Structure 1
Amino acid sequence: MNLKEKLTNITCNTRSIAEYLQTIKGIADELAIIDTHLSDDVLTIFALNGLGSGFKEISTAIRARDTLVSFEELHDKPVEHESFLKREKSRGGSNVIVNNTRTSLGNTQP
């Protein structure tokens, strides 16, 4: 399969966020070897597109920023959110995820 096609179709599915982002980085590195460099913004968009519905709020918040976060910066927010979702699931709680996302991105306005 074409490497760009892999990036277009990649999804997080059952992988951890860290594994998912590492896979994207690996594909980008393979593309760079064959002289096809992708911008940081393009990698970030590919990563956000494949996160899935559990990360819809955080993906929307990241996309709504005036400047898109870099691919390297992107790593921390979904990993933190994944940890939050796991804690909530183990507690059986259903706190509002949007409030956590806003706080983690430094936006405390409703």
Structure 2
Amino acid sequence: MSMVEYKGKVKNIEDTPFGYTLSVIGGKWKMVIIYLLAENQPVRFNDLKRQIGVITYKMLSSQLKELEVDGLVKRKEYPQIPPKVEYSLTDKGETLIPVLEKLCEWGADNQSN
């Protein structure tokens, strides 16, 4: 169903596919994390933190856990000292890449307007 088809039929936006999508990738950091993982996977936690820059360790950890629970990111832990953890996109997470590419195209087309 398109957004127009839902008009007037839904009491809560969260009940729509659009609402679900926003709940999974919404917020300040999730799309950034997905974008960076798509470009560089697998990525270690500290490398991801360094690439984002302004995100706190606590927020990055929280966002990665949420993305993992939603099935978009997989976490691989290596049993060694010091601990090594890598993150990458799942197959489900990979399906968001065309969506992010479209957002980038929109930005390129409209940034200077």
TM-score by length of 2: 0.26
Considering fraction of residues, name the structure with more strand. Answer: 2
Q: Which has the higher helix share?
A: 1
TM-score by length of 1: 0.27
Q: Higher Cα Rg: structure 1 or 2?
A: 2
